[in-house]
Amino acid sequence: MSLLVVGSVAFDAVKTPFGEVDEALGGSATYFSTSASYFTDVAVVAVVGSDFPEKHLVSLKSRGIDIEGIERKEGKTFRWKGEYGYELNEAKTLDTQLNVFESFKPVLPDSYKSRKVVFLANIDPDLQRDVLNQVKEPALVACDTMNFWISGKRDSLVKTLKSVDMLLINDGEARQLANEPNLVKAASKIMSMGPKTLVIKRGEYGALMFTRKEIFAAPAYPLEAVFDPTGAGDSFAGGFMGYLANTMNFEPSNIRKAIIFGSVMASFNVESFSLDRLKSLDYKEIEARFREFKRLTHFEDLG
């Protein structure tokens, strides 16, 4: 039941057709750890600047998140600015300021090195391998990546993929990584690079899981109100990995349940800006939406 995530803690400025926020708490590790904290103990490795308010660290700690690995450096915290149109599956990036994140060199506290489940969020693949070299015999390693690393550091990313058990990426990234428009063919190519399991996030169209023996498709939860998709993929990953870390069962049947929990957490995330909805959740709401997912996807066999 010990989960480690290495990623970013950031400030986001987001505009959608339904409103906008500035200097909102964000970052892959932030969304991931908040989501995962509903299922298991989670420790975070990240970096923030001297401008990062203590209240945000207190908020993370109040969720039971171990923040010993969040380093504070002189300078400004990573900032991202983006805008969504009515097509909410993809953001238009308006500005990225890496600031202290640009020189981020993850160093794991000794208490983190024995964590059994590791998630390498979207950071430089060289740094992802540096983290793996510091972890002692993990039971499960999963990672994320993005188009920037696929195009800019492909060889390094492929080297990282040889050392991971699972890869979680979106459909556009899967097609780019495999250089293949068909997702089924793309999945086969990606798994030949190393991962035994591939989870492809498809936004409002749900998620696909591929193993060498089977395919599983899950829908997205139908929502009346979607305010901000920022962090939805990271919230999905947090729910997914949090459930797996809680159960320590990595069989395909349990991974299917983990995908539904990931989808549940992503569906809550998009209902408000930043982490507002995730922080206000009650676990009974999570269970209820999981059961609703099951009801939505149930059908009888042929007579």
User: SS3 for the chain, per residue?
Assistant: CEEEEECCCEEEEEEECCEEEEEEEECHHHHHHHHHCCCCEEEEEEEEECCCCHHHHHHHHHCCCEEEEEEEECCCCCEEEEECCCCCCCCEEEEEECHHHHHCCCCCCHHHCCCCEEEECCCCHHHHHHHHHHCCCCCEEEEECCHHHHHHCHHHHHHHHCCCCEEEEEHHHHHHHHCCCCHHHHHHHHHCCCCCEEEEECHHHCEEEECCCCEEEECCCCCCCCCCCCCHHHHHHHHHHHHHHHHCCCCHHHHHHHHHHHHHHHHHHCCCCCCHHHHCCCHHHHHHHHHHHHHHHCCCCCC
Q: What's the pLDDT tens digit per position in 101-157?
A: 999 999 999 999 999 999 999 999 999 999 999 999 999 999 999 888 999 999 999
Q: What's the pLDDT tens digit per position in 240-296?
A: 999 999 999 999 999 999 999 999 999 999 999 899 999 999 999 999 999 999 998
Which class in CATH covers the domain with range 2-297? alpha beta
Q: What's the pLDDT tens digit per position in 157-204?
A: 999 999 999 999 999 999 999 999 999 999 999 999 999 999 999 988
Greater pLDDT, 200 or 302: 200
Amino acid making up residue 118: V
Which of 4-13, 34-43, 222-231, 237-246 has the least mean pLDDT?
Answer: 222-231
Asked if pLDDT for residue 7 goes beyond 90, the answer is yes
Q: Which of 241, 290, 280 is nearest to 32 (CA)?
A: 241
Distance CA 285, CA 265 (A): 10
71 phi/psi in degrees, rounded to 5: -90, 140
Distance CA 192, CA 214 (A): 15
Asked if pLDDT for residue 1 goes beyond 60, the answer is no
Q: Are the C-beta atoms of 138 and 116 separated by less than 8 Å?
A: yes
pLDDT at position 301, please? 86
Domain map (residue ranges) of the chain: 2-297
Amino acid making up residue 120: L
pLDDT at position 277, please? 94
pLDDT at position 241, please? 98
| Whole-prediction pTM | 0.95
Confidence of residue 223 (pLDDT cuts 50, 70, 90): confident
